[in-house]
Chain A
């Protein structure tokens, strides 16, 4: 999974926070304010985050203002890298492709995940088995997933290609046609990541009181109205957080595209992460890659801003 980034962190602060509230806060003998020993216990985890994520992220901001390569000294260029980005049609193509893929993937997954969650939460024999089979793609790495989907969609010889052709739909010509390649990458991505969205929504649906659904049904509400008036309000917070997390993680999409087309033909199927990777590790323009990285970070943080804001308020409300 492209999940250097499990969308799972999902309201992660809220559950423990709510539990903590119910309990008397500080005890004289134990707990309460952290001392030196407690801060030492926190250090390893925080050190990892600071040294391998925070400092590199800040450094990327610094690098983005420089011309950096293996061969020459680092040279300050101000906003030069950003000007290069703005003038580069390949970059804008990558932005546009990312936008298309992210939206297709996020909403495709949301609809599919929601449908599956409702299906699994309702009447269903062998529910445990059903849920297990639905989350199976979560265990598959992206490379194998690409192999699987290429296998069935390989032009002319793949069985799904063949079936599509047979019913007159035509094939997905992903190796030559950029649009088809993006469609295949999106399908693949939806396939791998739907288990996350499904599980988050499925878990959220468990929190809907059974009596409420029964009462609504007795009152004559059909499935649709039960969903809109009873289930949806309960799962809405989880749904929004899942949506936000998938926006952020889908934006990082790399492997699916890289392994299918490497961004080709003619760099027409690049997304932001592929553009960054190519700039850095193919053309050795680390400054340009860093500028792209900064754009990706700022996009992620702005999408996450509402979530971070509410998390901040909730966390400090109890501190």
Chain B
């Protein structure tokens, strides 16, 4: 890449600064406001230097005790959805990587096709079905739905990573009498950990943050964090902003740190599932 002159550099740096403000400013505002005493939250000009307080977090704990149960629900559902997605996608990705036939291609095309359908639409027939089966408001329903909507992307990611594992290893194992499942578990899976992380990342962010399915299919026992936050946000007697920001901070911190730390896997996952070549 050619190096721009001093003017070009200054221009690029100022644009970069603007871009960073645009993407990070709202997040930082909320995190910092969550540590402010309530009366300072809307101070104008905003107070930059303040004595951080945990009052909002204490109030969250007191006024919304369910919040932490809901975090646990989110955690269980996220882990479950990710495990299901990765297990299913690795199996499918392996078959698509190593085998080919017209019927197989047709099934692969089907995977691409169903992803075009809007998720909210499936709530209409599934709502009565899940009620009838007494599955509404369970962790399982959300895990399966989240897995269903991400298994296709994950399959493509896994397939692209499995493509790079040399077949000779598997051939040697076949000669030694290993079964298909053993090959998959002992030889292929350990070699595609990068793919697993890349695919998991998309599922984790989605399952942790999802709103519509959680809104439709949970009422109490399986409610997830975004739903409580939306409740805090729409409190009729006026929003308690401090508590809202404390809740938002607790919800976003783990996944934000995860995404920033695993940034290269986002790019790798994209490249594998998407734009390589």
Contact = CB atoms under 8 A, between A and B. Distances in A.
Contacts of B210: 4, 141
Interface in A39-62: 39, 41-42, 44-46, 48-49, 51-57, 59-60
A168 interface: no
B118 A319 contact: no
B98 interface: yes
A149 B26 CA distance: 7
B29 interface: yes
Given A49-B110, A119-B15, A147 B151 contact: no
Interface residues of A, number: 125
Given A148-B29, A149-B26, A119 B44 contact: no
Interface string A190-221: 01001100011011100100100110010000
Contact of B123 (A46, A125, A141, A280): A280
Nearest to A4: B119
B12 A142 contact: no
Contacts of A152: 26, 29
Interface stretch (B50-58, B61-69, B100-108): B100-108
B7 interface: no
Interface residues of chain B: helix, strand, loop or mixed (majority): helix
A89 interface: no
Contact of A15 (B24, B96, B274): B274
Contacts of B98: 30-31
Nearest to B156: A12
A33 B23 contact: no
Nearest to A134: B23
Nearest to A150: B233
Given A15-B277, A51-B148, A152-B26, 11 more contacts: A6-B153, A10-B273, A15-B274, A41-B94, A56-B124, A134-B19, A142-B226, A147-B30, A255-B212, A273-B118, A318-B100
Interface of A: 1-6, 8-16, 18-20, 25-27, 29-34, 37-39, 41-42, 44-46, 48-49, 51-57, 59-60, 63, 115-116, 119, 121-125, 128, 130-152, 154, 157-159, 162, 191, 194-195, 199-200, 202-204, 207, 210, 213-214, 217, 238, 248, 251-252, 254-255, 259, 273, 276-277, 280-281, 286, 289-290, 293, 296-297, 300-301, 304, 308, 311-312, 315-316, 318-319
19 contacts: A1-B205, A5-B119, A20-B100, A30-B167, A32-B100, A34-B99, A41-B92, A49-B152, A56-B124, A57-B114, A128-B263, A141-B225, A141-B251, A141-B252, A144-B252, A151-B245, A213-B2, A259-B234, A301-B116
Interface of B: 1-4, 8-9, 12-13, 15-16, 19-20, 22-24, 26-27, 29-30, 33, 42, 44-46, 87-89, 91-92, 94-105, 107-127, 144-145, 147-153, 155-156, 159-160, 163, 167, 170-171, 174-175, 180, 184, 202, 205-206, 208-213, 216, 225-227, 229-230, 233-234, 241, 244-245, 248, 251-252, 255-256, 258-260, 263-264, 266-267, 269-277
